[in-house]
Homo-oligomer: A and B are copies of this chain.
């Protein structure tokens, strides 16, 4: 019998909230009369696109970085990531004054490299394959003695991501349903544990592109599926880990699937009516709400996960 993987508790998430207070933005929870009317519920929108580095990822990265001992911290942190975790970890490390090494595939768009460089992160490029990324990261860890901060398969990271839900519940009051997008499952895991720590009756949903429905299939089959597929929601293409899968199995009632067209329409809706810049991944729960319009419970919360989108390549331009 394998040892159960450590998972964060609601107490860990409360501790993370205290640890990162003053370091992260307590982002606003916004309402939209147009959205409420469209979906037939009171919707509370947690704006993590307004977080430092433009995404909720800064919460988990900051909690992980601030959890390190001074002896660990001086050797720095490292991760392989081509997305929001990379910029978030670089910024969290810079704010503690420690080095961060980010292993990124050579194919990473310039806009994402720039975000890491802006936070003084050290970028190490590798071939765009998982073995190359893992081997390059392992070599960097050996050479620097840095601590790996995995983007989602890490108790400190999951606890940090869960703090967004705590703030949302503090600001909105009790909710009937809370929804977050799912990729590797760090945000959804933290959200679910935090939410059920407050009220076991609140329904927690994930939202996922139908073209990258591995979490949906994992929950449906009871077996971790690691073939995410492809979607315009390029932040949602990681596979669950055994740890996040087990958390989702315990806490998540449903993973709603939405089409690529629904994602683009929802993204445009958020720009047009909420006046917020969001990346396609962040529009996925909005698309899910619109898909389920008229069937939702009275009070619904969603987490707008991030706003890091290339404005020269908006899908409607």
Contact = CB atoms under 8 A, between A and B. Distances in A.
A54 B311 contact: no
A94 to B, nearest CB: 11
A28 B50 CA distance: 11
A115 to B, nearest CB: 10
A59 interface: no
B33 A52 contact: yes
Contact of A49 (B50, B275, B278): B275
Interface in A255-277: 268, 271-272, 274-277
A50 B33 contact: no
A200 interface: no
Contact of A28 (B28, B33, B268, B311): B28
A314 interface: yes
Nearest to A34: B118
A317 interface: yes
Given A30-B50, A311-B316, A271 B277 contact: yes
A70 interface: no
Interface string A290-317: 0000000000000000010001101011
Interface footprint category on A: 20 to 34
Contact of A277 (B25, B52, B277): B277
A275 B52 CA distance: 11
A172 to B, nearest CB: 14
A54 B32 CA distance: 10
Contact of A272 (B268, B272, B276, B311): B311
Nearest to A304: B275
B50 A307 contact: no
A49 B49 CA distance: 16
Nearest to A51: B275
Contacts of A311: 268, 271-272, 314, 316
Nearest to A272: B311
Contacts of A268: 311
Interface-centre pick from A49, A274, A277, A317 (highest chain B CB count, 10 A): A277
A49 to B, nearest CB: 5
A177 B28 CA distance: 24
Contacts of A31: 25
A312 to B, nearest CB: 7
A57 to B, nearest CB: 14
Given A268-B311, A271-B277, A275-B277, 7 more contacts: A33-B52, A50-B274, A50-B275, A271-B311, A276-B277, A277-B277, A312-B317
6 closest Cβ pairs, A-B complex: A275-B307, A317-B317, A28-B28, A275-B277, A49-B275, A271-B277
18 contacts: A28-B28, A28-B30, A30-B50, A33-B52, A49-B275, A50-B274, A50-B275, A54-B275, A268-B311, A272-B277, A275-B276, A275-B307, A276-B276, A277-B277, A311-B314, A312-B316, A312-B317, A314-B317
